[in-house]
Amino acid sequence: MNRLLVALLSLIDAVLAAAIGLAIALAPLTALWAFGLGGSADWGTLWPASATIWQLGHLVPVAVTLPDAYLAATGIDRSAGAFVLSLAPTVFALFTAVFAARSGARASRADAWITGVASSTVVFAVLAALVAVTGGNAVAATETWQAILFPTLFFAVPALVGAIVIEWREAGAGVVARLRDRAEAVAGGWGELPALAARGTAIVVAGFVGIGALAVAVAVVVGGAQVVSLLEAGHMDVVGVTVTALGQLAFLPTLIVWAAAFLAGPGFALGTATSVSPVGTQLGVIPGIPVLGAVPQLDSPWFLLTALLPVALGALAGWAVRSRLVAHADAAPAPASVAPWATPSLEGLIGAPPEARTAAQDEPGDRFGVRVALMAVIAVLSGAAAALLAQLTSGSLGPGRLAEVGAAPGPVALAVGLEVFVGAAILLLSPRRRSRRSTSDDVRSTSDDDRSASDDGRSWWRRDRGEDERADAAPARVDADDRVGAATRASVWDGRMGGDAAPAGVGAASRGEQGRGRSVAVEDSDAAGTTPADETAPAPEDTAPLPPFVPRERGEGESAPRRPSPLPPVD
């Protein structure tokens, strides 16, 4: 796609992301102005309020300074008239991040992700600057550089991540594709580490948010009576109830992260020297926000069992990444055998050489070091992601004791990291179970490979053992599935089929040629016990030496091809 067209489409994405976010903040205020105030107030004052809410939603701290007249009318202490509001309604930041990630992914699929991400980020920064300049007011003030930088980061980082993810997964050329190919070329399974670690971390983070959302739903249902009581205590009309409900929905992502931190163990705070955790609840005076009525009042140690949920998430991530790791290892081509004669029967008698034992110990399906690294990386990244979510959903909700609200990033990161580490270790470090069918297939494949081996391996063994050329008289090794055919061939070689003498065409040389690749070795006619009449008997016309057998390449999942038997059918 033309880079100019990609830049224009990315520009539209940035404009829509900013406009829709501002509209979400402006719509409830407009409804309040129209139905609650009757349109008597100046509508122009709604724009600064909407801009401030949008900036607060992108984690821009707001310095609130209440007028003296308002403080005197309400009886609020002057010391509480100025405070910093930093607890963000994170639904705005979430909307911007999702919109930006989709825009970056589309630019990557258009093969112009750098152009798309750069152009959309510049446009969004310009719009954030415009909002910061035109949306200032005396009551709720923001730092201009923060009002420009923070919203821009919430757009630029997800757009860049979305583009890089698509480039890593789908691109055939480019910087990210070359880096991916170079990483995947690392032997021993280490090339799969980045993708599998990202997959496992994504599973843990998605599950962390999911269990938090489920906990919020359960808490609202259980504490519904208290929520309704607080709502009725506000004596609000329909417009007030609607605006309050929308405001609480804007903090829904924040509540989900708090609930997830509660399930992980550390919990969260609703003010200085307060705590809400499975160990117990210690609260003082809290704001009369209806949704806070769902905060549980706990005094039972059984709630500590909720810490098993992050452990289960770690186990799920470990199972997912190990399944892919084993699938990739099984799909990889098997290493070449160091000696084609190295069958289980001979190895049990004479032992395998050091090269064969080393190859067996380095089986691709094992990859213990890769699994240990995956376990550690997933745990660290999951803890870091939990700490980031806790940091984004904590801040100040008002003056005094309300200056500390939310989950502490440090304890949350430590708890989630350790719990995920334990869960991932259960699945990633457990021994691999192999089904009976796969074991049977391996034995059958080994037998087929033994039959298709060349004489080079046998001659090497003879030289190593000091045997002479009469080692060709070693007992034949046959597969269990081919006993009848092996017995038939042995009887023909010995000249006992149907009581007739063996054809002269089936001599020692021809038998050695025909038996090559099937590991069937027989003595010559004298050692086999044939008579002089057998040696001088005329050879049948249909008996002729066969050309050497050259095995073809095997496809994936295909067993070794069987060589057609040169023997005539047996009546």
Both 203 and 54 in one domain: the answer is no
What is the rounded average pLDDT of the residues 70-75? 81
DSSP 395: B
Which residues, 6+ apart, have CB-to-CB distance to 305 below 8 Å? Answer: none
The token duo for 347 is: 């190895």
For residues 24 and 107, membership in a common domain is answered with yes
Residue 249: per-residue pLDDT: 92
Domain assignment present for residue 501? The answer is no
**C-beta of residue 537 within 8 angstroms of C-beta of residue 504:** yes
Tell me which of 128-142, 348-362, 435-449, 544-558 is least confident. 348-362
37 and 178 share one domain: yes
> 239-284 pLDDT, tens per residue?
788 888 888 999 999 999 999 999 998 999 988 888 888 888 888 7
Contact 151, 58 (CB under 8 A): yes
Residue at 128 is within a domain: yes
Cα(511)–Cα(528) distance, integer angstroms: 12
In this prediction, residue 61 has a pLDDT band, given cuts at 50, 70 and 90, of very high
Give the Cα separation of 211 and 146 in Å (integer): 33
pLDDT at 22: 93
Structural domain containing residue 138: 3-185
Residues 157, 161: Cα–Cα separation, whole Å: 6
Cα–Cα dist 352/391, whole Å: 58
**Domain boundary at 185, 218, 250, which?**
185
Whether 202 and 60 map to the same domain: the answer is no
Number of domains in the chain: 2
Shared domain check, 220 and 277:
yes
DSSP 3-state assignment of 526?
coil
Tokens of 520: 């069937």
Domain closes at, from 367, 394, 429 = 429
Is residue 332 over pLDDT 70?
A: no
For residues 114-127, give the mean pLDDT.
Answer: 94
Residue 73 buriedness (CB in 10 A; 0-12 / 13-18 / 19+):
exposed
C-alpha–C-alpha distance, residues 261 and 281, integer Å? 14
Query: Which segment of 35-49, 198-212, 253-267, 306-320 scores lowest on mean pLDDT?
Result: 35-49
Residue 330, pLDDT score = 55
Q: Examine residue 403 and state whether it is found in any structural domain, yes or no.
A: yes
> Which of 482, 500, 486 has the alpha carbon at shortest distance from 543?
500
The dihedral region occupied by 400, where left means phi > 0, alpha psi between -120 and 50, and beta the remainder, is left
Rounded to the nearest integer, the mean pLDDT of the chain is 75
Lowest mean pLDDT among 115-119, 386-390, 479-483, 545-549: 479-483
C-alpha to C-alpha distance for 304 and 276, rounded to whole angstroms: 12
**∠306-310-315 over CA atoms, to 5°?**
125
In a domain, 491, yes or no: no
Q: How confident is the model at residue 333 (pLDDT cuts 50, 70, 90)?
A: low
* 210 in the same domain as 178: no
- What is the per-residue burial (b if ≥16 Cβ within 10 Å, else e) of 211-221? bbbebbeebee
CB 379 within 8 A of CB 417: yes
**Structural domain contains residue 251:** yes
**Rounded Cα–Cα distance for residues 209 and 199 (Å):** 16
Query: 3-state DSSP call for residue 495?
Result: coil
| In-domain check, residue 531 | no
Position 448 in a domain: no
Residue 141 lies in a domain: yes
Closest CA to 286 of 277, 278, 274: 274
Tell me how far apart the alpha carbons of residues 168 and 102 are, in angstroms, rounded to a whole number.
Answer: 15
Q: Residue 432: its pLDDT value, please?
A: 62
- 132, 159, 185: which is the final residue of a domain? 185
Confidence band for 368, pLDDT divided at 50, 70 and 90: confident
Instruction: Decide: helix, strand or coil at residue 533.
Output: helix
Q: Which pLDDT value is given to residue 177?
A: 84
**Phi, psi torsion values for 361, nearest 5 degrees:** -70, -25
Q: Cα–Cα distance between 289 and 19 in angstroms, integer? A: 29
Cβ burial, residue 175 (10 Å; 0-12/13-18/19+) = exposed
**Radius of gyration over every alpha carbon of the chain, rounded to an integer in angstroms:** 38
CA 328 to each of CA 194, 220, 436: distance values in angstroms, whole numbers, following the listed order:
14, 45, 20
DSSP-based three-state secondary structure for 140: strand
User: What confidence category does residue 522 fall into, taking pLDDT thresholds of 50, 70 and 90?
Assistant: very low
Per the DSSP assignment, residues forming a β-bridge with 141 are 63
Say yes or no: 180 and 200 in one domain: no
Question: In which band, very low, low, confident or very high, does the pLDDT at 193 lie, cut at 50, 70 and 90?
Answer: confident
- Say which residue, 444 or 562, is predicted with more confidence: 444
Same domain for 155 and 174? Answer: yes
**Cβ neighbours around 268 below 10 Å, total:** 25
Side chain identity at residue 482, one-letter code: D
Residue 505 · residue 542 · CB < 8 Å: no
Q: Nearest CA to 325 among 195, 183, 205? A: 195
Going by pLDDT thresholds of 50, 70 and 90, the confidence category of residue 295 is confident
Residue-level pLDDT at 205: 95
Q: What is the Cα 96 distance to its own chain's centre?
A: 24
Q: How far apart are CA 255 and CA 262, in angstroms?
A: 11
Q: Are residues 285 and 421 in the same domain?
A: yes
For 80, residues 6+ apart whose C-beta sits below 8 A from its C-beta are 398, 399, 400
**pTM (two decimals):** 0.70
Q: Looking at the structure, do residues 235 and 256 belong to the same domain, yes or no?
A: yes
Q: Examine the domain organization and report whether 136 and 235 are in the same domain.
A: no
* Cα–Cα dist 64/287, whole Å: 17
Q: Are both 107 and 225 inside the same structural domain?
A: no
Residues 6+ positions from 47 with CB-CB distance below 8 Å: 26, 134, 135
Q: In percent, how much of the chain has pLDDT > 90?
A: 33
